[in-house]
Amino acid sequence: MSGLMVDAQNVRKSFGRTHVLRGINFQVSSGSVVCLLGASGSGKSTFLRCINHLERIDGGVLYVEGSPVGFRQKGNKLYELKDKDIARDRSDVGMVFQKFNLFEHRTALENIIEAPIQVRKKARKEAVQRGMDLLSTVGMADKHAEYPRQLSGGQQQRVAIARALAMDPKLMLFDEATSALDPELVGEVLDVMRKLAGDGMTMIVVTHEINFAREVADEIVFMCDGIVEEKGDPKMVLSTPQSPRTQSFLSKVL
């Protein structure tokens, strides 16, 4: 691991009078896996959405690989980017949501090659080859011609992961990627995520899969009421949490 991929400095976000992020300070090294834990409403998903500017922060600054998200820095001033420039930067960050969000009228392979062709301007032949390689990586090569309605939830989520990887992202964000799945399908998605972690992909994972976090994460961050309540080595945080709030949360999920 070398350098910082994500550097959040006093990041704040509100929706009306509701303060969702109250000053997040958070760093992720390149090549590392960080798992975000916390109860619903603690700000985890909002923070992920801020990283790729799906939500605009209200205060602080958020850097991805040294560049402020949604802005360009000139001297000591930040200037907000135009929508097309934000979209270009966002394409470097892959995100996998709870819902699969696949195009229902396109096959698994067509879902994967759409963005590389339209956004990256890759030749169709190259995109198809890369798409098939990625489907093979997630164990879905034999389903390349099937439509989302023909696939199980776990299979759809694996296609969604392959679609995100097709843009060759420098960072992958997972927002409770297994929470919408039936229990028997969770393992196949976690296996893909384990492989990505083993291959050195920088990942931030919002999850309630505590065993997965213990096994794969380089660091666990526990969020509560819009702040980072506790963070550290997975074994230490999960076995001997220092914060009473972390202790209370883990007592309910372990």
Q: pLDDT tens for residues 11-20?
A: 999 999 999 9
- Cβ proximity of 22 and 39 under 8 Å: no
Place of tokens 């296996």: 191
Say how far apart CA 151 and CA 155 lie, in whole Å.
6
Q: Which helix (H) or strand (E) holds 74?
A: strand 71-74
**Structure tokens that stand for 66 in this block:** 């040294």
Neighbours of 76 (CB within 10 A): 5
Say how far apart CA 97 and CA 53 lie, in whole Å.
15
Domains along the chain with CATH numbers = 1-92+172-254 (3.40.50.300), 99-169 (no CATH)
Nearest to 196 by CA among 172, 178, 218, 213: 172
Say how far apart CA 242 and CA 63 lie, in whole Å.
29
**Structure tokens that stand for 49 in this block:** 């959405």
| For the chain, percent of residues with pLDDT exceeding 70 | 99
Q: Per-residue pLDDT tens, the chain, 254 aa: give them.
A: 459 999 999 999 999 999 999 999 999 999 999 999 999 999 999 999 999 999 999 999 999 999 898 888 888 888 888 888 888 888 899 999 998 889 999 999 999 999 999 999 999 999 999 999 999 999 999 999 999 999 999 999 999 999 999 999 999 999 999 998 999 999 999 999 999 999 999 999 999 999 999 999 999 999 999 999 999 999 999 999 999 999 999 999 98
Nearest to 64 by CA among 139, 172, 196: 172
